Structure 1
């Protein structure tokens, strides 16, 4: 059994590596998924399991302690590990650092969605939110769309947006913090949103034809980042029907109101990667919901393990 640290993961991972691992995983049969959530006084333990026939199986177990960052000394709010099992023999082949792997998985998920749905010539990106996933998302989107040359960043705390813009600019792209979200939405070719919002931030009436919208942050039944007009004007895709329908407010809330039906979701990664659905024209507005899931962690973990073993 191999112990894989965050540094080990970073030594073999790149955004294109992560994207290709996820792409290859969706040529395989759909995963069998199970989740378990235990809560205690605002603290949570989440266990997510996935079995991908012919590839691997795995378990991701994490704790979420919201008050940890305010402790002395500060501690991460999310901590955990991923266990990777050999699919044929059933034994554990690796234990991987869960927080680092999750970042590669989450941003890689959105980047794969962009590589399949955004226009190849997108040049201006809007990042909604300036939290821990914002910079990885910007980097991942730029990796699959090198035409991105300008990044706008909006955050409720403008100082955080300004700090992120300065950091992103050091990566060789022009970046700016913006305060008018509607105006920024109207300027963007690609929008990625990673917030904790329970009220829609992105207004669909502001979207221009050809925009790709990447929704990352809404991961509970009460959360959403885009309004009904966004979903009505756009062609809606998800990474996995199993982890979004009935689980995430971005699709649950409009389904409950009648603004959206399951039939309005045109495809998931299995459909997109295998060519059953695609962007049809440069004028399409495409909306992608990044819902996550342990199967994605297993795909990245398996690729990382093979890369480390092959050294």
Structure 2
């Protein structure tokens, strides 16, 4: 009797999680489609600005430095293609009309899922591009430490130029956080629900004794692992951007200690430090949280805690309701 209650409760909980995931995917897809033109025009304008910054810097970006971005796109493509196929094959019926219905349903789900993933790729690719430009600027700042230039005016002009470019980067981060903050929050929530759904299904199916259940567990584990990688990498891009901002501050302070005896250079470095302190910013969508590694740890801890609660206490909290239903049936 207790195992029956446990299965009913966990299946109902799984349905709630699955419904939440579908609602979030639909919302993100609709918002992403509605704001696509505005977002793309803003990104093209900012990408043009980033290209101008990199063109005026002596140290250029390596052509194969975006391997992590390509890895995310590969995982996203596999998820977008594999999830509808796995879901469709798991719900195949013998009735031909039901098969046609499932085909139409899975096509619509695949389109919505693909739109959501394309929106995610846009945001993460853009953040990765900003990160690469910031790394190039820090490399150019480091060159000023080792290069001995007798003409102080050239060094001062280069520092002034890098300070202006750094201010532009900070404005870009603010623009992205303000314009797409709600989408970032929705994407994080959707990834959290998808991960929780995969973990929940894997635990329930693993605990059951149905034949050929391994064929259902393995795709679920792979899908949950892919979503976990996406969540980690999506947050890692923003975390690395924050680290590069701190690195900029450290390089400028080190330059002050090395070349502080040159008056023009010291004045530019003082202005640079003040600008960094007054314009400090982070990726904080809707001012709710800062996208960093500690946030990932908190998210996974929350998911594990929720999974433990629904698996451990679900039977106890729903047993009275189940007993009442059985009593009503007998009467």
- Structure having the larger proportion of residues in helix: 2
Q: TM-score, normalised by structure 1?
A: 0.21
* Rg larger for: 2
Q: TM-score, normalised by structure 2?
A: 0.20
- Structure having the larger proportion of residues in strand: 1
